[in-house]
């Protein structure tokens, strides 16, 4: 039986189950489409692995390789299911409407004016020359608002340089593209993320640009967040689907470089691509992000 993944724009949020596959609204239909794509990818990886196993001369090694391929396939299917459930939860929070934000370049400010004629977003102040340094364990992250710009979908975006180091060695070098609208919301238009190992570039996975291959911009920080807000920070299906939920406007925390006493914005950042990966982030007004906490392990990345 074929599964329809077309959406009814007028449909309301639907419960889970086979009865809704043919009646899904756009969000749920997207979740089903991503599920099918994930399953096909797992199947493709499995048969490629089996093909490679067939070219091992040693029978024991060949058998071990085949079993490993089967185990990986099972894990992959389970991950596909977990991602699907996570996307359905997002649909319950956001509703069934298509995610298709209207981008009007005239509604965005010049990055050079932020901090001058344009007030910066209090929780994400994109003032040129600002640098934040975070440390946690053996990792250091340095984030700088550069004077560079990049035009995406007609919008002039600020270029934010983000460098992660492990024991002094660069492991990731990223350029993020942000733009502030006239209401003070900060939008995320994409990134080029370079991962390094032993000084060699090994991956640019997760890189995306709004308007390319159906990728769409999201809001990285609202101008006036409210408790309970849930929103997309980016949307490149299967590759970049970061989300945020506002947990509190009255958080308190202390880190080496800043503190907030009952006035921190606290968010839960998550993604259906990695359902178990959750971060709690604390933002101090006028400063920006001061702390990331893993709620499971307690690991902290603190502003220095």
Q: Answer yes or no: is 1 within a domain.
A: no
> Dihedrals φ, ψ of 199, to 5°?
85, 0
Question: pTM higher than 0.75 for the full model?
Answer: yes
Residue 120 is predicted with a pLDDT of 98
Residue 150 is predicted with a pLDDT of 98
Q: Identify whether residues 286 and 257 lie together within a single domain.
A: yes
**CB-based contact 270:253 (threshold 8 Å):** no
Of the candidates 223, 260, 201, 248, which has an alpha carbon nearest to the alpha carbon of residue 118? 223
**Averaged pLDDT, 13-40:** 75
Q: Higher confidence at residue 259 or residue 18?
A: 259
**Averaged pLDDT, 203-219:** 96
Q: Identify whether residues 144 and 49 lie together within a single domain.
A: no
Q: Answer yes or no: is 7 within a domain.
A: no
Q: Answer yes or no: is 162 within a domain.
A: yes
**Averaged pLDDT, 85-100:** 97
Residue 23 is predicted with a pLDDT of 52
Q: Identify whether residues 52 and 184 lie together within a single domain.
A: no
Q: Which domain holds residue 262?
A: 105-303
Q: Answer yes or no: is 152 within a domain.
A: yes
DSSP 3-state assignment of 21? coil
Residue ending a domain, among 34, 60, 94, is 94
Find where tokens 């599920």 sit.
35
Q: Answer yes or no: is 251 within a domain.
A: yes
Residue ending a domain, among 36, 60, 94, is 94
**Averaged pLDDT, 224-245:** 98
Q: Answer yes or no: is 100 within a domain.
A: no
Q: Identify whether residues 73 and 138 lie together within a single domain.
A: no
**Averaged pLDDT, 87-104:** 97
Q: Identify whether residues 211 and 187 lie together within a single domain.
A: yes
Q: Answer yes or no: is 12 within a domain.
A: no
| Mean pLDDT rounded to a whole number for the chain | 93
Q: Is residue 15 predicted with pLDDT exceeding 60?
A: no
DSSP of 90-139:
HHHHH-SS-------GGGB--GGGBTTTBPPBTTB---TT-EEEEEETTE
How many structural domains comprise the chain? Answer: 2
Q: Answer yes or no: is 8 within a domain.
A: no
Q: Is residue 298 predicted with pLDDT exceeding 90?
A: yes
Q: How confident is the model over 163-176, as pLDDT tens digits?
A: 999 999 999 999 99
Residue 174 is predicted with a pLDDT of 98
Q: Identify whether residues 123 and 253 lie together within a single domain.
A: yes
Residue 111 is predicted with a pLDDT of 98
Q: Is residue 61 predicted with pLDDT exceeding 80?
A: yes
**Residue 128's CATH number:** 2.40.360
**CB-based contact 153:189 (threshold 8 Å):** yes
Q: Is residue 263 predicted with pLDDT exceeding 70?
A: yes
SS (H, E, C) 166-222: ECCEEEEEEEEEEEEECCCCEEEEEEEEEEEECCEEEECCCCEECCCCCCEEEEEEC
Integer Cα distance of 272 and 82 in angstroms: 8
């Amino acid at each position: 039986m074929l599964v329809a993944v077309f959406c009814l724009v007028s449909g309301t949020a639907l419960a889970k189950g086979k009865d809704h596959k043919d009646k899904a609204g756009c969000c749920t239909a997207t979740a089903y489409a991503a599920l099918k794509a994930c399953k096909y990818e797992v199947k493709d990886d499995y048969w490629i692995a089996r093909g490679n196993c067939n070219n091992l001369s040693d029978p024991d090694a060949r058998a071990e390789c085949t079993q490993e391929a089967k185990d990986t396939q099972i894990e992959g299917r389970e991950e596909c299911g977990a991602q699907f459930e996570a996307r359905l939860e997002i649909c319950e929070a956001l509703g069934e409407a298509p995610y298709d934000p209207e981008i009007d370049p005239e509604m965005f400010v010049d990055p050079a004016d932020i901090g001058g004629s344009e007030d910066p977003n209090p929780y994400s102040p994109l003032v040129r020359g600002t640098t934040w340094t975070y440390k946690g364990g053996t990792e250091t992250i340095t984030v700088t608002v550069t004077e560079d710009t990049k035009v995406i979908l007609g919008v002039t975006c600020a270029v934010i340089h983000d460098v992660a180091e492990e024991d002094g060695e660069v492991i990731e070098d990223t350029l993020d593209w942000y733009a502030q609208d006239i209401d003070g919301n900060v939008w995320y238009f994409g990134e080029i993320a370079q991962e390094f190992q032993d000084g060699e570039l090994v991956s640019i996975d997760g890189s995306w640009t709004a308007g390319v291959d159906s990728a769409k911009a999201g809001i990285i920080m609202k101008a006036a967040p409210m408790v309970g807000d849930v929103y997309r920070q980016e949307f490149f299906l299967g590759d970049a689907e970061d989300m945020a939920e506002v947990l509190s406007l009255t958080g308190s925390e202390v880190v080496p470089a800043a503190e907030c006493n009952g006035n921190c914005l606290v968010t839960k950042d998550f993604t259906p691509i990695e359902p178990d990966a959750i971060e709690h982030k604390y933002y101090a007004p006028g400063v920006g992000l001061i702390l990331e906490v893993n709620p499971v392990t307690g690991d902290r990345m603190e502003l220095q």
